[in-house]
Amino acid sequence: MTKNYLKFWGTRGSCSVSGPQYAEFGGNTCALELRYDDLVCIFDAGTGIRELGCELIDQNVKEIHLFLSHSHWDHFIGIPFFDPIYQPGVHITIWAPPNIRRSYRELVSDLLSPEFFPIRLEQVKADLEFKTIQQKTPLALGPLTLDFHSTHHPGLTYGFKIQTPRHTIGYITDNEMLQGHHGPLDHIPEEISDPHQSLIQFFTNCDLLIHEAQYTPEEYLHKTGWGHSSSLNALYLIQQTKTSRWLVTHHDPSHTDLDLHALEADTQKRLSEYKIDCKATWIGDRFVWPIK
In the chain, where are the structural domains located? 5-284
**Would you say residue 148 has pLDDT above 80?**
yes
- Separation between Cα atoms, residue 22 and residue 147, nearest integer Å: 33
- Of the pLDDT bands very low, low, confident and very high (cuts 50, 70, 90), residue 133 is very high
Residue 106 has pLDDT above 60, yes or no: yes
Our CA angle for 255, 70, 78, nearest 5°, is 65
Average pLDDT value for the chain = 97
CA 229, 232, 235 angle in degrees (round to 5)?
90
Mean pLDDT for 192-209 is: 97
In angstroms, rounded to a whole number, what is the distance separating the alpha carbons of residues 90 and 102? Answer: 25
Quick one: average pLDDT of 262-291? 97
Summarize pLDDT for 216-267 with one digit per residue, the tens: 999 999 999 999 999 999 999 999 999 999 999 999 999 999 999 999 999 9
Give this prediction's pTM: 0.96
Give the DSSP H/E element, type plus range, for residue 237: helix 231-241
Q: How far apart are CA 279 and CA 242, in angstroms?
A: 11
287 and 11 in contact (C-beta within 8 Å)?
A: yes
Q: Is the pLDDT of residue 100 over 80?
A: no
What is the rounded CA–CA span in Å between residue 232 and residue 63?
40
For the domain made up of 5-284, give the CATH fold. Answer: Metallo-beta-lactamase; Chain A (3.60.15)
Say if residue 9's pLDDT is above 80: yes
Supply the pLDDT for residue 121.
96
| Confidence check: pLDDT of 147 > 70 | yes
pLDDT category at 1 given cuts 50, 70, 90 is low
Question: 144 forms bridges with which residues in the sheet?
Answer: 141
For residue 109, the one-letter residue type is S
Rounded mean pLDDT, 85-100 = 95
pLDDT for 101: 85
Residues forming a β-bridge with 96: 132
**What CA–CA distances, in Å, run from 129 to 66, 96, 269, 277?**
10, 11, 46, 42
Please provide residue 60's backbone torsions phi and psi, each rounded to the nearest 5 degrees: 60, 40
Give the number of residues written for the chain: 292
Residues 6+ apart with CB under 8 A from 252: 13, 14, 214, 215, 219, 228
> What mean pLDDT do residues 170-198 have?
96
* Dist CA 282 CA 71 (whole Å): 25
Rounded to whole angstroms, the Cα distance separating 35 from 82 reads: 18
Residue type, 34: L
R_g of the chain computed on alpha carbons: 18
Mean pLDDT of 118-131: 97
The dihedrals phi and psi of 229, each to the nearest 5 degrees, come to -90, 150
Closest by alpha carbon to 161, among 174, 147, 151?
147
